[in-house]
Amino acid sequence: MAKHIVTVNKGSLQKTVKTGGCGECQASCQSACKTSCTVGNQVCQKQ
């Protein structure tokens, strides 16, 4: 048990290089000026 560090999320970005890219996710507005769908705030539609 780590004493100094708690990992709250084990990232998986690398894995998605192979598994992702299906393109089914919602469009996202990076200025969030319209439908408020900045990419970091999205969920993957595949899972």
Partner 1 sequence: MDIHRFEQNGMHIVLDVNSGAVHVVDKPAYEALAVWDGQNDAAVLAALGGAYGEAAAAEVLAELRALMDQGLLFSPPPAVPAALGDAPLVKSLCLHVAHDCNLRCGYCFAGTGDFGHDRGLMPPEVAERAVDFIIAGSGRRKHCELDFFGGEPLLNMETVRRAVAHVRRREAETGKVFKLTLTTNAVLLDEATLAYLNAENISLVLSLDGRREVHDNMRPYADGSGSWQDALAGIRRAVASRGGQNYYLRGTYTAHNLDFAADVLAMADLGFAALSVEPVIAKDGGYALRPEHLPALAAGYDALAAEYLARRRAGRPFEFFHFNLNLDNGPCVAKRLAGCGAGHEYFAVTPAGDLYPCHQFVGRDEYLVGNIFDGINKPAMVQRFRRAHALAKPACRGCWARFYCSGGCHANAQLFGGDLAVPYELGCELQKKRLECALMIQASLALEKGGC
Tell me, by CB under 8 A, how many residues bind partner 1.
42
Quote the least distance from Cβ 9 to partner 1, whole Å: 4
Q: Is the dihedral of CA 24, 45, 28, 12 positive or negative?
A: negative
Using CB under 8 A as the criterion, what x/- string covers residues 7-46 for binding partner 1?
A: xxxxxxxx-xx-xxxxxxxxxxxxxxxxxx-xxxxxxxx-
Quote the least distance from Cβ 1 to partner 1, whole Å: 10
Q: Which two tokens stand for residue 23?
A: 């393109």
The distance from CA 2 to its chain's CA centroid, rounded to whole angstroms, is 26
Ramachandran bin of 29, using left for φ above 0, alpha for ψ from -120 to 50, beta for the remaining angles: beta
Site for partner 1, rule CB under 8 A: 2-14, 16-17, 19-36, 38-45, 47
